[in-house]
Amino acid sequence: MRHSFSKNRFAAARSGGTALCLLAALGSAAAADVPPAASVTVLHCGHLIDTAAGKVLGESSVIIEAGRVREVLSGTEAPSGANIIDLKTETCMPGLIDSHVHITGQTSRTQYVDLYHWNLSDYVIRSTVYARRTLLAGFTTVRNLGDTANESASLRNAINAGVVPGPRIFTAGRAIGSTGGHADPFDGYRADLMKDLGPAEGIINSAEDAVKAVRQHYKMGDDVIKIMPSGGVLDEGASGDNSQMTLEEIRAVVVTAHDYGFAVAAHAHGAEAIRRAVLGGVDSIEHGTYMDAEDMKLMVEHGTYFVPTIIAGDFVARQAKVPGYYPATIAAKAAAIGPLIQATAARAYKAHVKIAFGTDAAVYPHGENAHEFELMVGAGMPPMFVIQAATVNAAALLRQKDLGTLSAGKIADVVAVPGNPIDDISLMKRVSFVMKEGVVYKLNSAPIEMAP
């Protein structure tokens, strides 16, 4: 699995179908079959964040039926016979959305050695743990932007089937990039271990290759397209920001992707790579470290979203100071690029670039996603704005009209925190209640154990 900052590589890849079988086999062991929800459930919230209007409402009742919001009422009302959940000391809001994760891998001191010892199944088993941690942190939906063998699609399917608990996943499968670039899992290998990959593995070197790669994603049942038009931090290439895709290749990806109903996310650190990606028509820029004023102007003109992933930059910069945590080449790039992202995000906010919440989870440990809220506020963004970035803005980026707000007919994804996060954004790290599609997974800050 390759992160937008990094990559995981397997000496021998197994098929995504094998991963799905493995996930299904985990069902009884994980004791995660989802129980049926009560016919009508009412949440009595002390406060409710209206993410569409950007307002904090007073006491409110969210009435839920068949996994959807039936209505939202002012005050604490409830139909006769409804199951009532008392959240009167808490602030409710829509389920959070992380627009940039890698749910099937996670950073560690041994990650580059593990590539030579772990099988795909080892990563798949761990991914079920990462998915549960993410859900319990309040993130009911994620956009997975890169894996190794489409294993995140198998995890998505298992979660949708109720086999294991986790967030709703929209996955890109393998990222698309060029030979030797950030998407190539074999750069840095010795010559006899290198492979010359092609479009079926996400490696392209022409517009024709780009078209085939996108169509392969459609064939594999993915949800979104991820491209790598610039270098990255945690791969073993020399540059973290050079341009690695031509404008023609990017346009070919985007035109084909949009034909098939895919949105396109672009990992890009360098200013020229960002410019090409925006002109090529991508839907979002991820990281954007060296984004300049021209890039920001183009993004505003084109309506391109920015997903900053400040937490990833912050984490890799700190870990680069730990001797031996990263190989020397990677540590140097992490130290140079990581600390810059927060300042870039601050400038993008002031330039009125559209921003959606995303963290690059896996570059840092899963479940700590909410620290991004603090870092975004530290970049000068108001608390309400950053909550909207993780709800209504992220839902718009995902093209999911049923998510991101709480109103009649929407999917009943609801989270709550103990207090008012507008006054103290750190409360977003203390999610005390989690509901996904009307099913409660966390109550009174404690996970709800699923019946076997």
In the structure, what pLDDT confidence band is assigned to residue 452 with cuts at 50, 70 and 90?
A: very low
159 within some domain: yes
In the structure, what pLDDT confidence band is assigned to residue 378 with cuts at 50, 70 and 90?
A: very high
Between CA 96 and CA 428 the distance in angstroms is 10
Q: Which of 264, 245, 301, 280 lies closest to 170 in space, CA to CA?
A: 264
**In this predicted structure, what is the pLDDT of residue 14?**
34
Element (H, E) at 367: none
Buried/exposed code over 245-270 (b: 16+ C-beta within 10 A; e: otherwise): bbeebbbbbbbbbeeeebbbbbbbbb
**In this predicted structure, what is the pLDDT of residue 199?**
95
Q: Which of 5, 234, 3, 12 lies closest to 116 in space, CA to CA?
A: 12
In the structure, what pLDDT confidence band is assigned to residue 31 with cuts at 50, 70 and 90?
A: very low
- pLDDT at residue 177 above 60? yes
Structure tokens belonging to residue 306: 């920015």
**In this predicted structure, what is the pLDDT of residue 196?**
87
Structure tokens belonging to residue 94: 């829509």
Residue type, 23: L
Classify residue 379 by its DSSP letter. Answer: T
31 within some domain: no
**In this predicted structure, what is the pLDDT of residue 216?**
98
Q: Roughly how many angstroms between the first and final C-alpha of the chain, as a whole number?
A: 31
Ranking 78-82, 297-301, 392-396 by mean pLDDT, the lowest is 78-82
337 within some domain: yes
Q: Please check whether residue 140 is in contact with residue 96, taking contact to mean a CB–CB distance below 8 angstroms.
A: yes
Between CA 376 and CA 356 the distance in angstroms is 11
Between CA 59 and CA 135 the distance in angstroms is 25
Structure tokens belonging to residue 347: 């400038």
Domain CATH number, residue 365: 3.20.20.140
What residues contact 191, with CB distance under 8 A and at least 6 apart?
none
Q: Which residue has the tokens 């990806």?
A: 253
Between CA 397 and CA 342 the distance in angstroms is 21
Classify residue 146 by its DSSP letter. Answer: -
3-state SS, residue 177: strand
**In terms of pLDDT, which residue wins out, 1 or 115?**
115
Average pLDDT over residues 98-116: 94
**In this predicted structure, what is the pLDDT of residue 450?**
66
- pLDDT at residue 15 above 90? no
205 within some domain: yes
Between CA 118 and CA 189 the distance in angstroms is 17
Phi, psi dihedral angles at 318 (to 5 degrees):
-70, -40
411 within some domain: no
Average pLDDT over residues 357-375: 98
Between CA 203 and CA 206 the distance in angstroms is 10
- pLDDT at residue 9 above 80? no
- CA 229 from centre of chain: 19
**In this predicted structure, what is the pLDDT of residue 152?**
98
143 within some domain: yes
- pLDDT at residue 396 above 80? yes
Between CA 120 and CA 139 the distance in angstroms is 25
For 10, other C-beta atoms within 10 Å of its C-beta total 18
Structurally, how many domains does the chain consist of? 1
For the stretch 216-266, pLDDT in tens is: 999 999 999 999 999 999 988 888 899 999 999 999 999 999 999 999 999
Q: Please check whether residue 426 is in contact with residue 374, taking contact to mean a CB–CB distance below 8 angstroms.
A: yes
- pLDDT at residue 403 above 50? yes
- pLDDT at residue 5 above 70? no
Q: Please check whether residue 164 is in contact with residue 195, taking contact to mean a CB–CB distance below 8 angstroms.
A: no
Ranking 100-109, 122-131, 194-203, 207-216 by mean pLDDT, the lowest is 194-203
Average pLDDT over residues 368-385: 98
Burial of 328 (0-12, 13-18, 19+ CB in 10 A): exposed
Which pTM does this prediction carry? 0.91
DSSP 293-313: HHHHHHHHHHT-EEE--HHHH
Between CA 141 and CA 45 the distance in angstroms is 22
DSSP H stretches of helix in 97-221:
111-114, 120-136, 151-160, 207-220
38 within some domain: no
Structure tokens belonging to residue 107: 């950073």
Q: Could you give the C-alpha distances from 389 to 274, 288, 297, in angstroms and in order?
A: 21, 16, 20
30 within some domain: no
Buried/exposed code over 97-128 (b: 16+ C-beta within 10 A; e: otherwise): bbbbbbbbbbbeeebbeebeebebeebbbbbb
Q: Which domain holds residue 392?
A: 96-398
- Which residues, in sequence order, are bridge partners of residue 230? 243
**In this predicted structure, what is the pLDDT of residue 451?**
52
**In this predicted structure, what is the pLDDT of residue 187?**
80
- pLDDT at residue 13 above 80? no
Average pLDDT over residues 150-155: 97
Residue 149 CB-half CA count within 13 A = 18
**In this predicted structure, what is the pLDDT of residue 32?**
44
Q: Please check whether residue 152 is in contact with residue 127, taking contact to mean a CB–CB distance below 8 angstroms.
A: yes
Quick one: three-class SS letters along 193-210? HCCCCCHHHCEECCHHHH
Q: 3-state DSSP helix/strand/coil percent for the chain, to nearest 5?
A: 35, 20, 45
When the pLDDT of each residue in the chain is averaged and rounded to a whole number, the result is 91
